[in-house]
Amino acid sequence: MPPPPEPASPESPSPGRRLLGRAALGRAGRAALLATGRPPVPDAIEPLVQAHRRHHPQADLALLSRAYRTAEESHRGQKRKSGEPYITHPLAVTMILAQLGAETTTLVASLLHDTVEDTEVTLDQVAAAYGPEVAYLVDGVTKLEKVDFGAAAEAETFRKMLVATGDDVRVMVIKLADRLHNMRTIRHMKPASQVRIAKVTRDVLIPLAERLGIQVVKTELEDIVFATLHPEEYARTRALIAAQEAAQDALLSPFAAALRRQLAESGVSGEVTVRPRHCVSVHRALLRRGPSGPVGLVGRPHPADLARLLVVVEETADCYAVLGELHTCWTPLPGEFKDFVAAPKFNLYQSLHTAVSVDGALVEVLVRTPRMHRIAEFGVVALGSPHQAGADQTGRDELDGTDPARPGWLSRLLEWQQETPDPDAFWSTLTADLSDDGEITAVTEEGATLVLPVGASCVDAAYQLGEEIGHRCIGARVNGRLVALATALADGDVVGILTEPGGGPGGPEPTGPSPQWLEFAHTPGARIAIERWLAGHARPEPAGQAVHAVDSVASVEAAHVVDAAQVPPAGQGAPSAPPAPHGAVERPATARPAGGHGRLVVAPGHPGAAVRLARCCTPVPPDRVTGFQIRGGSIAVHRTDCPTGERMRGSGRGPVQLDWSPEAGAAATGAPAPFRVTLQAEALNRPGLLADLTAAMSATGLDIVSAVVEPPQELRVRHTYTVELPRAATLPVVMRAMLRVSGVYDVRRPGLEAPRPPRLRPNSRAAGNADDQAPGPVRPSKGMRDRSAALSAVDGQPEKP
């Protein structure tokens, strides 16, 4: 007699129940789904639905199913280059977006994104069936026809996408997913097409993915582009990574375990994982170390080059707790700590970065919260639709005061693209703008935040504050110190832009930029504004005037330079003859033919000797001069009151008798004979003094080579200018023009160093403020304060001491 069957336990279902689960569960599930009012979804999008529900459990699956059916019917019969049905492409693109966490509207637009471009479906039909929001996204990623735009179709398509992205960033998100799937299947394209598509991806799409913060898309695109354009280097790098995996695990796994224990002991809850670097990141690390071995081969990677540690903690405060534990228990490497939590990157990225020494090897560690991690991986997609109620707007870009729907970099890009109607110019400017590999954050002295590309100069900062400010810019301060406009800004700099007066409606037209600004204007917005100004305000350069590749305080007559490198520390006097600013076209001391006696100076008894005018005292006819022979047989010409000449005389060097040649001043003949001269102006400090002085000097037709402004002392300030005069007779005219500037009480040429006056003398500016008549013959004199030697005649009469 067989034993009775054992009762089925709840843990071990009966065969009948198992049969129901295998055969009828699908029917029962569909019946239950129908009972709830939800229609079944097509089998083809089941994986898509599952990925979407992980991020959006309450998603409208009926809308998604309807969009799939429309796309499938529209693309039916079409094939891809690989031979697969075309519907596989929109399905794959939509799966990428679902895995990123995009909301339903984006997925619907993704399924339909090629219907208007490649099928008979019209944009109006999409709008009628799915609403204007979906239609806008589909239109944004639809390519322009080559029939209508010819060779400019690609550039104009990207312009159209960028403009659409300015209103809805999801347009570019769909385009990036579309390009990612096309790159995954690029092997089916012709070799020439592979190279062309890979280069466009490298130059435009990857930088855009970086700016939108979508790192998972950016890194995969980088690796595919690397494999397409440089297959041998890609294969070699992959082989190096595979060879070092064991060493990497031996170093990082024990360190990760030790860090977990340390965090547990300190009461910090966090997940520690080893995060491998992608292939391009490893290759860059090897290139930074430099080549080794055979030509063309990079060095072998260290284990730490292949991966980093990622620590994900619950709260922002825990990030700094982890940092404390790391720096306490392991040796931190100086200069490797970066706080992107307190100061996020322009693409919303937040993490703490540090590096510690582990068994003699450098190991990088990233620390972030779960929300920071989502944004670091998925960028703007993790913030949800900017037009949807309840979207995560806490990711607002605090760096430039905009929200993720329109990042600051995108606003600036859209501004300059309007100024470049030519497709070729737009494309070259776009690729140049996107090629910048990073951004910096500077702060104005008024507290405004400026986000600029790495390498941006003070001119770029001026134009980012506004085109009017850029056109009126005459100088800049960085961290309280006067600097050249060509100076490249660094992260965290405090910038002050000096402008000429007269801004606002109804004010005088600004002097405007100099053509030389284009040599160090880094941002497209600044370059376009400068080029537009120069096109509408063309002015010829004075004959014989050398061009300076330095920053300029532009004027009607010439360009003026503010050279920050010559600003002395507080309490020190200005140098008597500042050197030429960095980047200037250096001129020899004579700047004139120096054969024989020279054209300017007569040296009897020394035929054929080269004659050079000394920089220290900058002699100008009719100064009393003397000469000294220097190395090479040349004769250095100094003013008789020059301290350097006095020292040379004291060292036993015999002076050489010489005098100015009759044509040196060129006052009568008008022949060009430029002279470099140093002038010092003593003034009461006030706003706009620098602008007024340079404007007054420029009106006389000279070229300002450099300017030094010392820190004010007791409300007084000293400006030292090195100028190049078109002729000697211009010097007294320049000095009178400087004395007419409000606040200036003395102008002199530095010779023997004279101290600042202890107090202002009454009526010290009386002569200079009068309406001077045309100057008479130039004669030497003691000048304004016993050491000047040029302002020597008024109304043809010598000035009284």
Q: Which of the residues are catalytic?
A: 117-118
- Asked if 407 and 397 count as a contact pair (C-beta separation under 8 A), the reply is yes
Tell me the helix, strand and coil percentages in the chain, rounded to 5.
40, 15, 45
The token pair that represents 742 in the structure block: 């409000």
Q: For the beta carbon of residue 358, count every other beta carbon within 10 angstroms.
A: 20
- List b or e across 170-198, with b for residues whose CB sees 16 or more CB atoms inside 10 angstroms: bbbbbbbbbbbbbbeebeebeeeebeebb
- Asked if 515 and 449 count as a contact pair (C-beta separation under 8 A), the reply is no
The residue among 776, 778, 774 whose CA lies nearest residue 788 is 778
Return d(Cα 111, Cα 94) in angstroms, integer: 6
* Rg, Å, the chain Cα set: 36
Beta partners for 476? 483, 497
Identify the three-state secondary structure at position 722: strand
Return d(Cα 435, Cα 792) in angstroms, integer: 57
Identify the three-state secondary structure at position 451: strand
Element (H, E) at 31: helix 25-35
The token pair that represents 623 in the structure block: 């100064």
CA 41 to chain CA mean position, Å: 48
Return d(Cα 683, Cα 754) in angstroms, integer: 15
Q: Is 76 exposed, middle or buried (0-12, 13-18, 19+ CB in 10 A)?
A: exposed
Return d(Cα 522, Cα 659) in angstroms, integer: 49
Helix axes 104-111, 88-100, angle to 10 degrees: 160
